[in-house]
A and B are shown apart, each in its own frame.
Chain A
Amino acid sequence: MKFGIMVNEGPFNHQASDSAYQFAKAAIAKGHQVMRVFFYYDGVNNANRLSEPQSDDRNLVKLWGEMAKTHKVDLVVCVAAALRRGIKDELLAEGFHISGLGQLTEIGIAADRLLVFGD
């Protein structure tokens, strides 16, 4: 099955990004495809390359980036949500790119299922 994922909360503050990541990982392991992850609301903070969790903690920003690279998952950060939170190209971690809200609608149309993680 082809999945689209929407992440609506920032990392560490909320479990949404962890849950979305674990879901994506499990789906890929079962042979499904995760076409795109769309980061919206505070979810755009998942793309901040300056994020530096303690060394014994998971690094969500890095984990998403690695998944994007290994499994060709498109990590889209919403431009409107990102700009008002100061997330710009120069701050993006590897594997993420900034694009428009149309990418959310597009994945809603193209994927078999769109899953929303957040409050």
Chain B
Amino acid sequence: MSEEPVFDTQGVVRKFMFVNRKAPYGTIYALEILESVLISAAFEQDISVAFLDDGVFQIKKGHDPKDLGMKNFSPTYRALGGYDIEKLYVEKESMEARGLGPDDFVVKVQVVPAAELSKLMAEQDVLITG
């Protein structure tokens, strides 16, 4: 095992946005990006999470994947608030194209049009996609 360098991050607060674009099941992207969101909370950064494309299904109420042999990890999104991750955005166009509304989600989200989300993305220091 090689030696691990430590980079100085003391006192630096950056704007991180995690961009969720994939359906919750079918691939592992949704689950693993959620793991990285939770870990990032320990670093006291300015974190936001965006849901667009099929990613909006990640937080839809009523997941029941047990017949797929998978665990339902959607309750974990409700834990984000406990980690002070409260800026959750859903892209309006993606939501509407899938017949969803703001009340269909397991967490409280801000619904924003694509143009506004694009501005929010431009303001970030770091974008992590999955």
Is A41's CB under 8 angstroms from B7's CB?
A: no
The size bracket of the interface on B is 20 to 34
Task: A9 to B36: give the CA distance in the assembly, Å.
Answer: 16
Is A105's CB under 8 angstroms from B7's CB?
A: no
Contacts of A109 in B (CB 8 A): 7, 9, 12, 14, 43, 45, 126
The size bracket of the interface on A is 20 to 34
Say whether chain A's binding surface is mostly helix, strand, loop, or mixed. mixed
Contacts of B130 in A (CB 8 A): 8, 41
Known A40-B36, A101-B36, A102-B42; judge A108-B8 contact (CB<8 A): no
Is A104's CB under 8 angstroms from B4's CB?
A: no
Is A74's CB under 8 angstroms from B5's CB?
A: yes
Known A97-B2, A108-B126; judge A102-B43 contact (CB<8 A): yes
Contacts of B14 in A (CB 8 A): 108-109
Is A110's CB under 8 angstroms from B2's CB?
A: no
Is there a chain B Cβ closer than 8 Å to A6's Cβ?
Answer: yes
Interface residues of B in 23-65 (CB under 8 A from A): 28-29, 32, 35-36, 39-40, 42-43, 45
Contacts of B45 in A (CB 8 A): 105, 108-109
With both beta carbons as reference points, the residue of chain A lying nearest to B29 in the complex is identified as: A41
Closest chain B CB from A26 CB (angstroms): 21
Closest chain A CB from B73 CB (angstroms): 13
Known A108-B14, A109-B45, A114-B126; judge A101-B5 contact (CB<8 A): no
| 7 A-B contacts (beta carbon < 8 Å) | A102-B42, A104-B40, A105-B16, A105-B39, A109-B14, A116-B127, A119-B29
Other than the given A105-B40, A105-B42, A109-B7, 10 more pairs (CB < 8 A) read A40-B32, A100-B39, A101-B36, A105-B39, A105-B43, A108-B126, A109-B14, A109-B43, A110-B9, A110-B12
Closest 4 CB pairs of A and B: A110-B7, A101-B39, A109-B9, A108-B126
- Which B residues form the contact surface with A (CB < 8 A)? 1-2, 4-5, 7-9, 12, 14, 16, 28-29, 32, 35-36, 39-40, 42-43, 45, 125-130
